[in-house]
A and B are shown apart, each in its own frame.
Chain A
């Protein structure tokens, strides 16, 4: 008999094999493009979940880190004349920029809770978007373009797919590590009752800020990858309010505070959104569909597909 652990391990191996084989099985760049964006959002949603899913602090300001990562990559590559695949050596720097921004951001926002925290994250998000519009080093409203990558067109999407897949694997691994660690336990205790956790000696601010910075670093990393994939960043695309809403929807759809939930949510929502955007007769429908899906999730599967599905399976047994 294969136990639950065996089934999980088998499922994970199959999933990894399918993810690795995807661009080989579907070499059409248009299809690989779906895969690249799916992996970008698997990373972003998992990173968001590492902080918001485990701590209960719903951040609607993670686009700050996504955009900052993109701009950090663009500015560093431009100012230091880095070209070709060497730009990807800048990814740790982009992660550091995201984490560094998260520290003062968190020191302000994490003093408050619930809806007040959400409002502050939105306010800080708009400050960053405005800065991107108004500073000269960010290129103003024109934004930045990425230096040319000398990759052949036939392998361009595939290479980006594997880079994004590596980021996604890193994000899921981090999520898994945090979930299993005593650090993650304290983070989840904060989610349930922060005052009580503090009363038991949990250094709440330190724990929250560390998770916020780690989550920000990952989000900035994938923002940098995204910048190079789409070749440009502008204030309204790097600091896009829809980014946070999409990531939140993905995580809630799959399962808030779980490891697999954000992955499933991103794999369902992102390709669906991309497909809708390519249908001329459905122009603009993706936002409406996202809104409807959000409502359905909140009303009917508030805990997300993974926890609710798991409960149904247990009941059937």
Chain B
């Protein structure tokens, strides 16, 4: 498969601290790719460079063969890359439905219909008229995913979509990603919840201290000694079948104490 998104030799340093030391990541069209690594390994910095929120010191970014290095975030979004943030960035004083319309660029009626469809898709249609600031953390994650989708991006970068979300919503989010992927959307996901990543992604890239440590399918990553030493630790080594239940299994990580069904968590 051809690479739809390619970040090639990305370097980024803050003062004397190297965040990325020549990272190359490829995401094939129609796949769900994972990006894992310990805190401070450069995952979010790479997302920021790809989406134009930060400028790389060196390296280039391509989307479908078109170079988008140093393009502004709005231009990157218009080119077809949507992203969510580790700490959700919704428009808290707008209603849920209004949030969905911020990224809309077609006729108002079309955008509104699309927004309604997507709210239903992510399970927030009953909250459409509420201020977005009143949503739970997990619902905010869904809303952020939803409003990014309004523009029908070719690639969606999700920064810890399951982080701090209750297990029920984690399953709901994973289901939505699978469904979107089945319809052709490509994903690159940063996530600490290993069950979530192993269950969803077809390829995984491991970052450590701003360098790519390993890259390959989940089975290869799971058994890579360097990865186990650097990041995954003993859990997966001791329990190699943890992804058998898929993301959102009852013992899935990252719960924030929210309860309730799917997107109705309060």
Q: Are A185 and B101 in contact (CB under 8 A)?
A: yes
Given A185-B101, A185-B102, also A192-B74 (CB < 8 A)? no
Q: Is B94 an interface residue (CB 8 A)?
A: yes
Q: Are A182 and B77 in contact (CB under 8 A)?
A: no
Q: Which of B52, B74, B90 contacts A202 (CB 8 A)?
A: B74
Q: Are A201 and B101 in contact (CB under 8 A)?
A: no
| Chain B interface, >50% SS class | loop
Q: Is A200 an interface residue (CB 8 A)?
A: yes
Q: Which of A188, A198, A202 contacts B94 (CB 8 A)?
A: A188
Q: Are B74 and A196 in contact (CB under 8 A)?
A: no
Q: Is B62 an interface residue (CB 8 A)?
A: no
Contacting B at CB under 8 A, from A206-263, are 257
Given A197-B102, A200-B147, also A182-B108 (CB < 8 A)? yes
Q: Which residue of the partner chain A has the closest CB to B99?
A: A189
Q: Is A186 an interface residue (CB 8 A)?
A: yes
Q: Which residues of B contact A196 (CB under 8 A)?
A: 85, 89, 91
Q: Is B51 an interface residue (CB 8 A)?
A: yes
CA separation between A182 and B94, bound complex, in Å? 12
Q: Which residues of B contact A198 (CB under 8 A)?
A: 72-74
Q: Is A199 an interface residue (CB 8 A)?
A: yes
Most chain A CB within 10 A, of B53, B72, B91, B93, is at B91
Q: B206: shortest Cβ distance to chain A, in Å?
A: 27
Q: Are A201 and B93 in contact (CB under 8 A)?
A: no
Q: Is A203 an interface residue (CB 8 A)?
A: yes
Q: Which residues of A contact B85 (CB under 8 A)?
A: 196
Q: How large is the interface on A (under 10, 10 to 19, 20 to 34, 35 or more residues)?
A: 10 to 19
Most chain B CB within 10 A, of A182, A188, A199, A257, is at A199
CA separation between A192 and B89, bound complex, in Å? 9
Q: Which residues of B contact A200 (CB under 8 A)?
A: 74, 77, 102-103, 147-148, 151
Contact indicator per residue, chain B 29-72, by CB within 8 Å of chain A (1) or not (0): 00000000000000000000001110000000000000000001
Q: A185: shortest Cβ distance to chain B, in Å?
A: 6
Q: Which of A186, A188, A193, A199 contacts B73 (CB 8 A)?
A: A199
CA separation between A198 and B74, bound complex, in Å? 6
Contacting B at CB under 8 A, from A146-196, are 182, 185-186, 188-189, 191-193, 195-196
CA separation between A199 and B71, bound complex, in Å? 11
Q: Are B77 and A199 in contact (CB under 8 A)?
A: yes
Q: Are A201 and B103 in contact (CB under 8 A)?
A: yes
Q: Are B78 and A193 in contact (CB under 8 A)?
A: no
Q: Which residues of A contact B104 (CB under 8 A)?
A: 182
Contacting B at CB under 8 A, from A86-140, are none
Given A182-B104, A185-B98, A185-B102, also A203-B74 (CB < 8 A)? yes
Q: Is B226 an interface residue (CB 8 A)?
A: no
Q: Which residues of B contact A193 (CB under 8 A)?
A: 89-91
CB<8 Å pairs between A and B, sample of 26? A182-B101, A182-B104, A182-B108, A185-B98, A189-B91, A189-B98, A193-B91, A195-B73, A196-B91, A197-B91, A197-B102, A199-B52, A199-B53, A199-B77, A200-B74, A200-B77, A200-B102, A200-B147, A200-B151, A201-B74, A201-B77, A201-B103, A201-B105, A202-B74, A202-B102, A257-B93
Those 3 A-B pairs whose CB atoms lie nearest each other, nearest first: A199-B73, A192-B91, A200-B103
Chain A contacts to B: CB under 8 angstroms: 182, 185-186, 188-189, 191-193, 195-203, 257
Chain B contacts to A: CB under 8 angstroms: 51-53, 72-74, 77-78, 83, 85, 89-94, 98, 101-105, 108, 147-148, 151
With A200-B77, A201-B151 given, can you name 14 additional A-B contacts, CB distance below 8 Å?
A185-B94, A185-B98, A185-B101, A186-B102, A189-B91, A192-B92, A196-B85, A197-B91, A199-B52, A199-B73, A199-B74, A199-B83, A200-B102, A201-B105
